[in-house]
Chains A and B, each alone.
Chain A
Amino acid sequence: MKPASLFRLFLRALLGSVFIVSGFQKLISPPQNLAAVIDKFEILHGSAVTALSLTLPWVEFIAGILFVLGLWTSAALALLWLMNTVFIAVLVSALLRRLPIDQCGCFGKDLSIPLPVMLGIDAAIWLLFFVSFFFHKKSSPSLDTFFARHD
């Protein structure tokens, strides 16, 4: 395998894994935990919070798996990048509104990342998606390539 092809595969695996882990952690936890987090951002209310807390983890998890496997790669990339962009917008909005996120509840170790640090991580992921976007049409080991050759 060529180094460039390997790099594209690594990038896809890295970005997809972030969403697989994130989605899976949320899915095996009671949805009320995610609903409480969404509620703190004061953008959605009531049943919209419940609906998002039930659907978002599935979208993250499934799209992440498809992206890693390179199946429906363009669609998965678009979906994950869109979600990442929305997360960034929500974090920026919370910082600008100076929301007292910390005063609404206390989180355990994994969830206690301060908002600016979280924003930095999401921005780094956004840049990796940007790089990935330029490469996604080029050849790398994927199920899309496999099916294109065999169908």
Chain B
Amino acid sequence: MNKKTLTTAAIVALSVGAVLAFRALRPDPAELMKARIAERSLGSEKAPIWITEYFDYQCPPCALARPALEKMMAEHPGQIYLQARFFPLPTHKNGMKAAIFAECASRQKGKFWKLHEEMLNHQNDWATDNYAGFKFTSYAESAGMDLKQLDVCVQDPKIKESVAEEKKKAEAIGVVMTPSFYVNGKLAVGITALSAEIKTVTDKAKTV
């Protein structure tokens, strides 16, 4: 081998090594999936399929994913444990505010999923609204939330920090877009990939 070929091989080996080193620094998604947020989950923790959804309230495909997820849970009764996690995108002006209201809903027992559905079902009504908070409050009222408690909660800077922290942890494991799902620790981006992954998991379970 001549010097040029050897140099090329060394450069390629170093480049591959650098990439692999960076990949090794990425946290293990399985560890993050273990953490449970009881008020933002559906189904039994004993279910064989754990889905963690990273979503943004203002993202249209996330609103479309909601009925698809409901359908999947109905088709696989008792088989799916779903966790909802926030990933508000900076390109959506009301995404963070919606996540803050939802986080506050999760701190009032049994209210999270009601507000979650209301916000996703009426996404077009508030997406570009400069005063989206008023709409979220009206959804919270119809969800039967304690509005005084909600008001104190949404103004607490720690709530925004906790949402941002949740997103930061997701970014560290490689989430870049919404909706993204982790199915038993494996990433599936978009609802089509999620359906395919669930089919793989259920087919595998049948053959075992």
Interface of A toward B, CB cutoff 8 Å: 24, 27-30, 32-33, 35-36, 39, 61-62, 65-66, 69, 71-72, 102-109, 111-112, 143, 147, 150-151
Known: A27-B19, A28-B23, A151-B3. A106 touches B8 (CB 8 A): no
A81, chain B: closest CB distance, angstroms:
20
Given known contacts A107-B176, A109-B91, A32 and B188 CB-to-CB distance under 8 angstroms: yes
Bound complex: CA of A65 vs CA of B7, how far in Å?
Answer: 13
B residues neighboring A (CB under 8 Å) = 2-4, 7-8, 11-12, 15, 19, 22-23, 26, 56, 58-62, 89-92, 173-174, 176-180, 187-190, 192-193
Q: List 13 A-B contacts (CB under 8 A).
A: A39-B190, A39-B193, A61-B15, A65-B11, A71-B4, A71-B8, A105-B59, A105-B177, A106-B58, A106-B59, A106-B61, A108-B176, A143-B4
A107 contacts across to B, CB distance below 8 A? 89, 91, 176-177
Check B2–A151 contact: CB distance below 8 A. Answer: yes
Contact present for B177 and A106 (CB under 8 Å): yes
8 new A-B contacts, CB < 8 A, other than A28-B174, A39-B193, A112-B89, are A32-B189, A35-B193, A39-B190, A106-B58, A106-B92, A107-B89, A109-B90, A147-B7
Taking CB atoms, residues of chain A closer than 8 Å to B12 are: 62
- Chain B CB count within 10 A is highest, among A32, A106, A107, A108, for A106
A38 to chain B, nearest CB (A): 11
- How far apart are the CA atoms of A108 and B58 in the complex, in Å? 12
CB-defined contacts of B178 to chain A, threshold 8 Å: 105-106
Closest 10 pairs (CB-CB, A-B)? A36-B189, A106-B59, A30-B174, A147-B4, A32-B187, A28-B22, A112-B91, A107-B177, A27-B19, A105-B177
Given the complex of chains A and B, what is the CA–CA distance between A112 and B91 in angstroms? Answer: 8
Contact: B189 with A35, CB < 8 Å?
A: yes
Q: A103–B59 Cα gap in the complex (Å)?
A: 9
A111 touches B8 (CB 8 A): no
Partner of B91, one of A29, A36, A108: A108
Answer whether A62 and B22 are a contact pair too, CB < 8 Å, given A105-B189, A106-B59.
Answer: no
B198 to chain A, nearest CB (A): 14
C-alpha spacing A119/B33, complex, angstroms = 38
Interfacial chain B residues near A36, Cβ < 8 Å: 177, 189-190, 193
Instruction: Considering the complex, give the chain A residue whose CB is closest to the CB of B58.
Output: A106
CB < 8 Å neighbour of A108 from B26, B61, B177, B193: B177
A residues near B193, Cβ cutoff 8 Å: 32, 35-36, 39
Nearest opposing residue in chain B for A24, CB measure: B19
Asked whether B177 lies within 8 Å of A65 as measured between CB atoms, the reply is no
CB of B189 to closest CB in A, whole Å: 4
Residues B174 and A104 in contact, CB atoms below 8 Å apart: no
- How many angstroms from the CA of A123 to the CA of B23 in the assembled complex? 32
Closest chain A residue, CB of each to CB of B196:
A46
B contact residues around A29 at 8 Å (CB): 174, 176
CA of A67 to CA of B178, assembled, Å: 35
CB-defined contacts of A35 to chain B, threshold 8 Å: 189, 193
Does B90 contact A108, Cβ atoms closer than 8 Å? yes
Q: How far is the CB of A32 from chain B (nearest CB, A)?
A: 4
Minimum Cβ distance to chain A for residue B98 (Å)? 13
**Closest approach, in angstroms, between the C-beta of B186 and any C-beta of chain A?**
8
Q: Identify which of A32, A105, A143 contacts B7 (C-beta below 8 A).
A: A143
